[in-house]
């Protein structure tokens, strides 16, 4: 599934719709270069889940948990992970195999521990189509 957006709001709204329809236990990976809109998308997912607190990037903590929505949201940013052991230390399997939604940035760095049933979200720019153009590719979901 490919969705094209032309403003941050549209990307937010795609995330919001996914959040509204998200089901317990789903794991989303979020891939894209710096500044492409991963955080904007995540804020949309959180809004769709009814989460009221602000979403901050968990780069220094690996995981940030949000419990105020319809389902818990576990937002991972594994960019700074040195060793897969660190995932064991935070008890990642409680999150991966729990009743919340996992959203993982830089998931390629922890490929060996990712389950098979992933929903993959990739966000890309295409400067030929304008500075604010984004192509969002979603695999593993029938519809959003
Ligand atoms: P990332 O988390 O991927 O590093 P951010 O979400 O923090 O990126 O930032 C994306 C930036 O791109 C924001 O400044 C946002 O306003 C801008 N932007 C412009 N067009 C779009 C779009 N179509 N979708 C998402 N963000 C956009
Ligand atoms: Mg970000």
Residues facing 2 on adjacent strands: 137
Q: What's the pLDDT at 95?
A: 95
| pLDDT over 90 at 59, yes or no | no
Q: 30 C-alpha to center of ligand 1: Å?
A: 13
Residues facing 101 on adjacent strands: 73
Mutate to test the pocket of ligand 1, among 8, 79, 104 (most ligand atoms within 8 A of CB): 8
Q: 32 C-alpha to center of ligand 2: Å?
A: 10
Residue with tokens 């319809």: 70
Q: What is the 3-state secondary structure (H, E, C) of the chain?
A: CEEEECCHHHHHHHHHHHHHHCCCCCEEEEECCCCCCHHHHHHHHHHHHCCCCCCCCCCCCCEEEECCCCCCEEEEECCCCCCCHHHHHCCHHHHHCCCCEEEEECHHHHHHHCCCCEEEEEEEECHHHCCCCEEEEEECCCCC
Rounded average pLDDT over 75-100: 92
Number of Cβ within a 10 Å radius of residue 5: 20
Tens of pLDDT, residues 94-136: 999 999 999 999 998 999 999 999 999 999 999 999 999 999 9
Rounded average pLDDT over 70-85: 92
Ion ligand 2: residues, CB within 5 A, are 38-39, 57
Per-residue pLDDT band for 4 (boundaries 50, 70, 90) equals very high
Q: What's the pLDDT at 144?
A: 78
Nearest atom in ligand 1 to 41's CA: 6
- The pTM is what? 0.93
Residues with CB under 6 A from ligand 1: 5-8, 10-11, 32, 34-40, 132, 134
Q: What's the pLDDT at 37?
A: 95
Tens of pLDDT, residues 5-55: 999 999 999 999 999 999 999 999 999 999 999 999 999 999 999 998 888
| pLDDT over 80 at 58, yes or no | no
């Amino acid at each position: 599934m490919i969705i094209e957006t032309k403003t941050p709001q549209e990307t937010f709204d795609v995330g919001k719709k996914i959040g509204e329809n998200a089901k317990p236990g789903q794991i989303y990976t979020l891939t894209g270069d710096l500044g492409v809109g991963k955080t904007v998308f995540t804020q949309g997912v959180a809004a769709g889940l009814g989460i009221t607190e602000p979403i901050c990037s968990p780069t220094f903590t690996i995981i940030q948990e949000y419990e105020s929505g319809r389902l818990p949201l576990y937002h991972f940013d594994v960019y700074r992970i040195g060793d897969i052991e660190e995932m064991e230390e935070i008890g990642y399997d409680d999150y991966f195999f729990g009743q919340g939604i996992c959203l993982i940035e830089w998931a390629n760095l922890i490929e060996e521990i990712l389950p098979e049933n992933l929903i993959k979200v990739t966000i890309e720019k295409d400067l030929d189509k304008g500075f604010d153009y984004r192509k969002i590719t979603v695999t593993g979901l029938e519809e959003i």
